[in-house]
């Protein structure tokens, strides 16, 4: 499956189907859907942390983004990461 220009939902589905890794899916989302450069490791780490916390139900946890702190819930909404969170 090609992961270029896939929606967050398509990427999450490919991850769950083990067609691509979580890291590759998140990187594709950052590059193609959010316009965040792969070199921005701080964003990658913050988004990974927010998804992890969201999957543990910690939606009110605070993550430091390069542009300031935000709650997990705010990050999930702002960066369209809901598809990567287990329901």
Structure tokens at 65: 């983004």
Structure tokens at 27: 């990187």
H/E stretch holding 68 reads strand 68-71
CB 75 within 8 A of CB 81: yes
Say yes or no to pLDDT of 1 above 60: no
Per-residue model confidence (pLDDT) at position 17: 95
Would you list the domain boundaries of the chain?
8-82
Best CA proximity match to 28, nearest among 84, 66, 78, 67? 84
Per-residue model confidence (pLDDT) at position 5: 83
Structure tokens at 21: 């890794």
Question: What would the pLDDT profile of 7-61 be if each residue is shown by its tens digit?
Answer: 999 999 999 999 999 989 988 999 898 888 878 888 888 999 999 999 999 999 9
Question: What would the pLDDT profile of 60-84 be if each residue is shown by its tens digit?
Answer: 999 999 889 999 999 999 999 999 9
Per-residue model confidence (pLDDT) at position 4: 60
């Amino acid at each position: 499956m090609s992961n270029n220009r896939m929606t967050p939902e398509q990427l999450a589905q490919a991850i769950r189907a083990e067609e691509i890794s979580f890291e590759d899916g998140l990187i594709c989302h950052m590059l193609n859907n959010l316009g965040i450069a792969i070199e921005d490791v701080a964003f990658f780490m913050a988004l990974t942390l927010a998804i992890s916390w969201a999957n543990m139900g910690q939606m009110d946890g605070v993550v430091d983004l390069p542009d300031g702190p935000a709650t997990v819930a705010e990050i999930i909404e702002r960066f369209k990461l809901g598809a990567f969170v287990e329901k």
